[in-house]
Amino acid sequence: MLFVLVITLVFVLISVYFFFRAEKLQRKLITQQRESSSTRKENQVLVETMTLVATREQEFAKERLKRLKAYAKANELEQLLIHAELISPLINNYSIIFQECLKGKGRLKAISQKCFENHDRAAYKKFVALIVTSNKQLKRYWSSDNLNGFLFLVDALLTFEEDCSHVLATGKKSTCLP
């Protein structure tokens, strides 16, 4: 009889222990689920924000390119117009390239190649030739093959082209266009 009573008492104590342990684990699980849910919401907000930033930046870059083309046409700067047309696929697909570069390093060249080849099969080779024959800064941005390099590359290409249009308009001698 005493043996049965001891076994019953041990069973009750173990049951109470596991009950409280299960309650504690359940509270931890609920806390983790809340944190996970809030993290997913934050991530969604960040993704939407990055998409908005990419779209806005694309609009700004397209506007700068449009002004550059208009300037080149108005001043009959054929070489500048050719270069503006050459960088157009990069600018027109800005948000796609931006989002792909967000996924990690080493994606800039691959997605850029796809975007250029959708425009014209030879356009990518011409663009790479432009980069290779240009200054070290553009080469460095292109070879970084990441989002930061892409952002600086686009800005440098548009600034480079705008600087060239200023040099060509004033008639100064320069090697701004290869």
**What pLDDT was estimated at residue 159?**
81
- DSSP letter string over 74-140? HTT-HHHHHHHHHHHHHHHTHHHHHHHHHT-TT-HHHHHHHHHHHH-TTHHHHHHHHHHTS-HHHHH
Reported residue count of the chain is: 178
Q: Which residue bears the tokens 């099969």?
A: 121
Q: Is residue 27 part of a domain?
A: no
- Under DSSP, is residue 130 helix (H, G, I), strand (E, B) or coil? helix
**What pLDDT was estimated at residue 37?**
95
**What pLDDT was estimated at residue 118?**
87
Q: Is residue 90 part of a domain?
A: yes
Query: What's the total number of domains in the chain?
Result: 1
**What pLDDT was estimated at residue 170?**
53
Q: Is residue 14 part of a domain?
A: no
Domain that holds residue 67: 48-170
**What pLDDT was estimated at residue 167?**
52
Q: Is residue 178 part of a domain?
A: no
**What pLDDT was estimated at residue 164?**
57
Q: Is residue 8 part of a domain?
A: no
Q: Is residue 115 part of a domain?
A: yes
* Digitized pLDDT (tens) for each residue of the chain, 178 residues in all: 888 899 999 999 999 999 999 999 999 999 999 999 999 999 999 989 988 998 899 999 999 999 888 888 888 888 888 888 889 999 999 989 998 888 888 888 899 999 988 888 888 898 888 888 888 888 899 999 888 899 999 998 888 555 555 555 555 544 454 4
